[in-house]
Structure 1
Amino acid sequence: MATRTSSHQLILLAVALALVAGLFLLPKVIVKPKEGKGELAQDAARTANRDNGAAAPSVGGLDEHGHAAGSHDADGGATPEQPHMTIAPAQRQELNTLLAKYRTTADPMAKLRVASDLAIKYKAVEKFDSAGYYLEQLAQARPGEQAWQRAADAYFEAFSFAATQERQKLLAAKCQELYGKVLKNNPENLDAKTNLGMAFMASANPVQGVVLLREVLAADPRNEKAIYNLGLLSMQSNQYEKAVERFRELTKVNPSNVNGQFYLGVALAETGAKEEARAAFQKTKSLSTDPSLTAAVDEQLQKLN
């Protein structure tokens, strides 16, 4: 968990630097407004797992290795888009054994049990698109709100860290499909609606994403994920005063929300409220001892001098 937190805070550092410089932000958060909301990727609340662009699994079957088609290389090693995402030999062997068993198992119930094992193993090695594929197989066999959400959430993990716009859009489409099934079972599932809203931000219909997020806030005015993501969207469109409002609201709902405090500081700095920004950054530092977060905050504090 510490490693995942550290990775997340490193992203925050890069995001902050790029935002202040007016450059593209990492795909996980925001891009320049003139490029359009279609290129917005999500920093979903709670998400700290990296998938670094595991390929979009908009597939109808397995490839010759038993993966979601096109999702990984043949042996589970590094790929050009995710050079550090390798699978340890012991884990690779476990996966190979399960994949072979999945391909050769004829009994439907036994096959589903293997699919469940594969989903667990793929999540353990942070191959979230492949985990989503097998969870989708389970949902198709035993449909229901929870089953569809497990599959959708796995794809959303991959979507949240997609490394390219192409993969992001394809993964977003998969999220839209599966969260749509969740909401068909339960239209009041606010977590699914929030993630669906963010998936729409990478589609040709980003306005629908904003509508969904506002629907979540109408139902639950204290919903942290919806407030946070609407704050990011305000920053994406250079509405920094509105972003300040959103992040202030978030930090009132949960004063310990580290990301909310950090982005409140960034938004305040953009409006010229340097002293308030400095206070928000100091509060951010007090909430975490993560060295990469400290470095990100110190970088921002230097810019306020």
Structure 2
Amino acid sequence: MLKSKQYILIASVGLLMVILYNLDIKGLVKPKDDRGMQTTATAAPEKISAVSYKSVSDVAKQSINASLASDIEKLEDKAKGASGAGLAAIQKQIAQKWDDLNQPAPAAFAYEAVAKLEPNYNNWIITGDRFTDGYQNFRDTTATAGLLNKAITAYNKALEINPNSLDAKTGLGVAYVTGTQNPMQGIQLLLGVVKEDPKNVKANMNLGMFSMKSGQFQKAVDRFKTVIDVKPTPEAWFYLGTSYENLGMKPEAILAYQKSKELAADPSLSEFVDRKIKELNN
């Protein structure tokens, strides 16, 4: 069985490709069935309210080993008869099980249950982060709007406890830009984060991605270079390569793509990068 770190690597590369396909950027071939992500601005109200632990866990259980699903169901049964500290302990176990399987959407609901029982800053931050991971990569797109709304709620709860939290402001900013009718509020939150912490990886990464989407590729380059100075991930190098390509800077794009390939060591991304480099060399 794959280790949790391997799950995370595969998921991150998959998420990279999904995000890139959903950006209207030159040089990226989109799949025919390009549905994109539903947002809170367009999703039907009944779909927002319908999202629940059961609805997302039922979907997640379809993609995991039956024995592992059975282990989680035993914990779920125990949770039905528990309360207080005992319930919190069981929900933490459920959350950890889903984390080990790299299933952030159902994990988020378990963390939310813990945060309601033990309402502290750390619990609400991790809840927001898991809901964010959930709305960004959950395979049932009808659930994404509800997951995004829950991320916003969790980050606001964290900010009530710690109004100066850059992590909460970043998560909230990303959610506002991604799925509400007020994207500029999100951009302002992210700009406020980098003003306070110029090297903030998450804020710079997302500002870079939003710059790509709006065609501001030089700004995107600056953001991704800042990220790479702190944390040179395959995603950051790939986005940098895409930005350079759109600026017509082919040698720089090729170098960045090669760096992303070396760091990811993933066959799917390697194949995609090889095609990109071949195109740029022609």
TM-score bracket for this pair, using the shorter chain length: 0.7 to 0.9
Distance 1:265 1:203, change over 3 A: same
Report how far residue 180 of structure 1 moved: 0.5
C-alpha deviations, 1:210-258, integer Å up to 9, x for none? Answer: 111101101100111111111100111122222222223333444x332
Aligned to 1:209: 186
Distance 1:37 1:139 in 2: 23
1:180 to 148, 152, 156: 156
**Are the aligned partners of 1:57 and 1:68 in contact in 2 as well (CA < 8 Å)?**
no
Per the alignment, residue 234 of structure 1 pairs with: 211
In structure 2, C-alpha distance between the alignment counterparts of 1:175 and 1:26, rounded to whole Å: 30
1:221 aligns with 2:198: yes
**Among residues 45, 55, 60, which one is paired with 1:70 in the alignment?**
55
SS of the aligned residue for 1:283 comes to helix
Cα deviation, residue 14, structure 1: 6.0
1:47-71, Cα deviation, whole Å (9 max, x unpaired): xxxxxxxxx88579xxxxxx72422
- Residues 1:301 and 1:133: Cα distance change in structure 2 (over 3 Å): same
Structure 2 unmatched runs, 5+: none
Of residues 9, 27, 34 in structure 2, which corresponds to 1:5?
9
Q: Quick one: structure 1 residues 240 and 179, their matched pair in 2 at CA, closer, same or farther if it must change by over 3 Å?
A: same
Aligned-pair CA distance for 1:37: 11
Bigger Cα displacement from structure 2, 169-178 vs 94-103: 94-103
In the alignment, which of 195, 212, 222 is matched to residue 245 of structure 1? 222
Task: State the partner residue of 1:47.
Answer: none
Report the CA distance shift for 1:217/1:298 in structure 2 as closer, same or farther (over 3 A).
Answer: same
Over 3 Å counting, the alpha-carbon distance change for 1:247 and 1:155 in structure 2 is same
More off after superposition, 193-202 vs 116-125: 116-125
Counterpart residue number, 1:44:
none
* Structure 2 counterpart of 1:136, from 112, 119, 139: 112
Shift of 1:2: 2.5
* 1:259 equivalent in structure 2: 235
Alpha-carbon distance between aligned partners in 2 of 1:144 and 1:277, rounded to the nearest angstrom: 44
Supply the distance in 2 between the matched residues of 1:14 and 1:26 (Cα, whole angstroms): 13
Q: CA deviation at 1:134?
A: 2.3
Higher helix share: 2
- When residues 216 and 38 of structure 1 are mapped into structure 2, their CA distance, relative to the original with a 3 A threshold, is farther
Shift of 1:122: 2.7
Question: 1:93 aligns to what?
Answer: 70
Q: State the secondary structure of the residue aligned to 2:10.
A: helix
SS state at 1:126 partner: coil
Equivalent position to 1:278, from 219, 238, 254: 254
Letter of the 2:228 partner, please give it: T
- Shift, 1:177, TM fit: 0.4
What is the aligned partner in structure 1 of residue 263 from structure 2? 287
Find 2:147's aligned residue among 171, 174, 188: 171
Instruction: Report the Cα offset of residue 142 of structure 1.
Output: 1.8
Give 1:172 deviation, angstroms: 1.1
Provide closer, same or farther for how the CA distance between residues 22 and 6 of structure 1 changes in structure 2, counting only shifts above 3 A. closer
**How far apart, in 2, do the equivalents of 1:303 and 1:252 lie?**
28
Conserved in 2, the CA contact under 8 Å of 1:12 and 1:293?
no
Percent of aligned positions with the same letter in both sequences?
A: 28
Equivalent AA in structure 1 for residue 119 of structure 2: P
Distance 1:128 1:5 in 2: 14
Specify the SS of the correspondent of 2:71.
helix
State the 1:17 CA deviation: 6.7
Aligned length: 268
